[in-house]
Structure 1
């Protein structure tokens, strides 16, 4: 797909979509996502996200124990328990609030940070691969450049995205845990309640914008042309997160079906849905740029000559 960087025209994303037709644009975006193997790449991203979430929480608990900040460790534990569905409570309680942990803080810190860091770096590299295929780029960057950039994106986009995720999904639980452990005042609690969602959204949008700007192996257009994808990715991620949270907590036999594995299944579903939301938004920006360049084909013609 040709790059449109430096193209000077009065067209806007809205005008391009209107010229192509909103229905056709949506259908072509889905075709691009499908034929770019978006679902497979999304599953890979989702699995890597799941492999990062649990070790990172374990690392936070280990860090609190090593630093002697038992209060901070209990904030993490109470937050995790507040988010744990049904019968998984006992499993998480033994993991995070066990009284006979021994000298496991250093081990938990080292293994948790190592596992989470490697998983996030691999996820960033997988996002590059998925974005490249959706843009029609057949090869990724050379390995050293690819994983070096993935490390940088982990620090600049992955950490803000994780903080935004925790504040959105667990904002109220974090506030309750801090109140329980440290005895927050009323005004501090009100300030946290009022500000944690806007700050979380800001962190999430900034992280997604960095991914859209720097993940794929190409020169991206101006921010105006990336903004629809950034907004769509954020909205879809919020939507799937809210829908999954409602389903898990709605009492529709979720915890009865999965029992102690309910938390694991919930994280797997969330990771897969998050990967689909992100890469589908990449497909949207790719299709938008394709229509801007004048070639709206979302995929190569089928050359099977009638063979199934």
Structure 2
């Protein structure tokens, strides 16, 4: 349950949308560390961590069928060599204890000919799209609670918008994540299968980072603008939260990769399920980074509107905000 103050919808004196210049002036006025600290408070009291876990589950449910559908699509169109590239890439980024399970799941897509591969592609894409749509609908709920909006959009509008975000921001996010997370093993697999040469591989390693970062920032900024149920500031204002989100995600993903690689007993503990556990942990990091970006963008707009403390007042410190204490019959009591 969210217990944060609602963020007022602010504009310039002329009524125009807030821009990056306004965001920079606000950061300079209130201080970056103050905004980060109060943004964390907004994330916490807006129940952001719970919504991040729900988003992570749906994201993981979308990732697995999407990978299998990619291998099936390559088989269905007769490009078995590219299916091998996908298999090599996924095995390379999965923890070692689960290599055999991952290889079997991907390799089985083409064992029974193109007809089975076509079925795998259709079912995989439909399942992945439905799970991703549910994930972005959950992201709207988390964003609304962080902004202090108590109700989501009506169901048809909510899931319709989530489906549209899946087809746009979701595709951009997927491209960015693939370029950064799987870019290096993908390049190595392409070189091994297609023999495209060291020069092409080096060029790929150079270009994938800026392209992946741009795709991620564009996707996150689009989510910040269109997911919450409110009128948002301009995209350049929200890009501040988008950049922080991407940086937080890179840091969290890097630390998680080190933990999985170096932690004693991680692979032995989970055995063939190591890849599944690593995927769930990574998806949770992704959800926290996204909602942290929402919290920072919300708090940046809140302090500009004169609301420095993101929490609802609780003068008697009983854990129940004052506005709920005023209604004894409230279900919250």
Tell me the TM-score normalized by structure 2: 0.87
- Residue 36 of structure 2 corresponds to which residue in structure 1? 26
> Per the alignment, in what secondary structure is the counterpart of residue 294 of structure 1?
coil
Alignment of 1:1-308 (within 5 A): 1-8=7-14, 12-98=22-108, 101-103=111-113, 104-250=116-262, 252-302=264-314, 306=318
CA contact (8 A) 2:68 2:109 kept: no
Aligned counterparts of 2:218 and 2:77: Cα–Cα separation in 1:
31
> Per the alignment, in what secondary structure is the counterpart of residue 252 of structure 1?
coil
Aligned counterparts of 2:32 and 2:23: Cα–Cα separation in 1:
11
Aligned counterparts of 1:15 and 1:100: Cα–Cα separation in 2:
56
Aligned counterparts of 1:305 and 1:99: Cα–Cα separation in 2:
58
What are the superposed Cα offsets for residues 175-231 of structure 1, whole Å, 9 maximum, x if unpaired? 111111111123222221211111111111111111111111111112342122111
Distance apart, 1:98 and its partner CA? 4.6
Aligned counterparts of 1:30 and 1:244: Cα–Cα separation in 2:
20
Aligned counterparts of 1:288 and 1:7: Cα–Cα separation in 2:
17
What are the superposed Cα offsets for residues 74-113 of structure 1, whole Å, 9 maximum, x if unpaired? 1111111111112101111212235982143122112211
Unaligned runs of 5+ in 1: none
| Greater displacement, 249-258 / 20-29 | 20-29
In 2 relative to 1, CA 67–21 (structure 1 residues): closer, same or farther, beyond 3 Å?
Answer: closer
Aligned counterparts of 1:27 and 1:117: Cα–Cα separation in 2:
35
> Per the alignment, in what secondary structure is the counterpart of residue 12 of structure 1?
helix
Aligned counterparts of 1:62 and 1:269: Cα–Cα separation in 2:
26
Distance apart, 1:298 and its partner CA? 0.4
Aligned counterparts of 1:93 and 1:300: Cα–Cα separation in 2:
51
CA contact (8 A) 1:42 1:275 kept: yes
CA contact (8 A) 1:229 1:281 kept: yes
Cα RMSD after superposing both structures: 2.1
CA contact (8 A) 1:86 1:259 kept: no
The size of the alignment, in residue pairs, is 308
Aligned counterparts of 1:289 and 1:13: Cα–Cα separation in 2:
8
> Per the alignment, in what secondary structure is the counterpart of residue 138 of structure 1?
coil
Tell me the TM-score normalized by structure 1: 0.93
In 2 relative to 1, CA 7–45 (structure 1 residues): closer, same or farther, beyond 3 Å?
Answer: farther
| Greater displacement, 21-30 / 259-268 | 21-30
- Residue 329 of structure 2 corresponds to which residue in structure 1? none
CA contact (8 A) 1:6 1:221 kept: no
In 2 relative to 1, CA 284–117 (structure 1 residues): closer, same or farther, beyond 3 Å?
Answer: same
What are the superposed Cα offsets for residues 33-57 of structure 1, whole Å, 9 maximum, x if unpaired? 1111101111111111100111000
CA contact (8 A) 1:61 1:108 kept: no
